[in-house]
Amino acid sequence: MNTMKWLLRREYWEHKGGFFWAPAIIAVVMLAVLGGTIAYGSLTHGLGTSTVIVNGHVVSQAHVISALPLHVREQIANSVANSYLAAAAPLFAVLPFVAFFYCLAALYDDRRDRSILFWKSLPVSDQETVLSKVLTALCVAPLITIAIGTATALISVLIGLMVADANGLRLFGLVLSNPEFWLAPFRLVALLPVYVLWAIPTVGWLLMVSAWARSKVFLWAVGIPLLGLMLARWINFMTSSYLDTQIDVHWIAINIVMRALAGVVPGLWLPFGQVDPHALLNSSERGVDAAGVFTQSWMTLTQPQVWIGVVVGAAMIFAAMRLRRWRDEG
């Protein structure tokens, strides 16, 4: 257990720039842009000083907004409580790139700079080394992104609520008393097992190529699936033209190519996991239902192709362990 802990720390220290600083810098930029936009709006138009004309009379906009019925404010607060984590979407968009290129270089870089000779001199097995990289890609990197993303979303929503309050729309109490507001971060963490199971094929494929390729790792990792897809399309064209039979190229693209290259994208299971889109919306179908997204995400695990991908991904991770043992000196 201590060995694995130190291996995970090593991976974090060596890739701290991608795992921590990249999302942290993006979060700071996002908050700076949000703060700058609010500051600019306040300086140019005033905060809570706008006026509107109602029945020929000039009245304060804040006064009009404060007169909104309670059920309307509750709907707005419920929408905010259900979807405020979406403010962290740019951070989760960075995660797949970080995980993809980390896995791609994880085993290749050690062989390229010959540092593998040093690491192999330590009493650490190939299985432990590869497993530490798997855990780093599947758990450590997503958890760091979730932590930074949640903090960013909380700060953003608090800033938004303060601005709304200054303009007469008082939502603090309604949002903070909404259980969905507090459950959202826990649901995000609870989705990590779903992410891990969907991402295993991609992580396994990239690590296997990283352990096998002597050079041009990116071209091998991306080129083989795409060439396979092009070959399938060509075979489909030939067989449909001369034998009146067809290959399901779309199935190959979704279940093989996509899962080999894009499984580390958070939420990929929603568009490709046979999820009912209506189940993701609230009762009025005007906003996202966080509980529905959580339930439907876990429901995707009932599909056989998910577990077939897990078995294939585990097999490729095992292959990466064996390749690291025998292919180190080049």
pLDDT in tens, the chain (330 residues): 688 888 899 889 988 888 999 999 999 999 999 888 887 877 776 655 666 666 666 666 666 666 667 777 788 888 888 888 888 888 899 999 999 999 999 888 888 877 777 777 777 888 889 999 999 999 999 999 999 999 999 999 998 888 888 777 777 888 888 888 898 889 999 999 999 999 999 999 999 999 998 888 999 999 999 999 999 888 888 887 777 777 788 888 888 888 889 889 988 888 776 777 777 776 666 667 778 888 888 988 888 889 999 999 999 999 999 888 776 554
- CB–CB of 267/287 below 8 Å? no
Say whether 210 sits in a helix, a strand or coil.
helix
Which SS3 state, helix, strand or coil, does residue 54 take? strand
Q: What would the two tokens of residue 281 be?
A: 């919306």
Which contacts of 92-97 are long-range, i.e. CB under 8 A and separated by 24 or more positions? 92/145, 92/149, 92/266, 92/267, 94/22, 94/23, 94/26, 94/145, 95/23, 95/141, 95/142, 95/145, 95/264, 95/266, 96/262, 96/264, 96/265, 96/266
Q: Could you tell me what percentage of the chain is helix, strand and coil, using 3-state DSSP and rounding each to the nearest 5?
A: 80, 5, 20
- Rounded-to-integer distance, Cα 67 and Cα 101, Å: 52
In a 13 Å sphere around the CA of 76, the CA atoms on its Cβ side amount to 16
Question: In DSSP terms, which residues pair with 281 in a beta bridge?
Answer: 288
| C-alpha span between 181 and 42 (Å, rounded) | 27
Q: Which residue has the tokens 């897990």?
A: 310
Model-level pTM?
A: 0.85
* Distance (Å) of CA 305 to CA 48, 194, 233, 258, 310: 54, 13, 22, 13, 9
23 C-beta neighbours (distance < 10 Å), count: 25
For residue 147, give both structure tokens.
């932590």
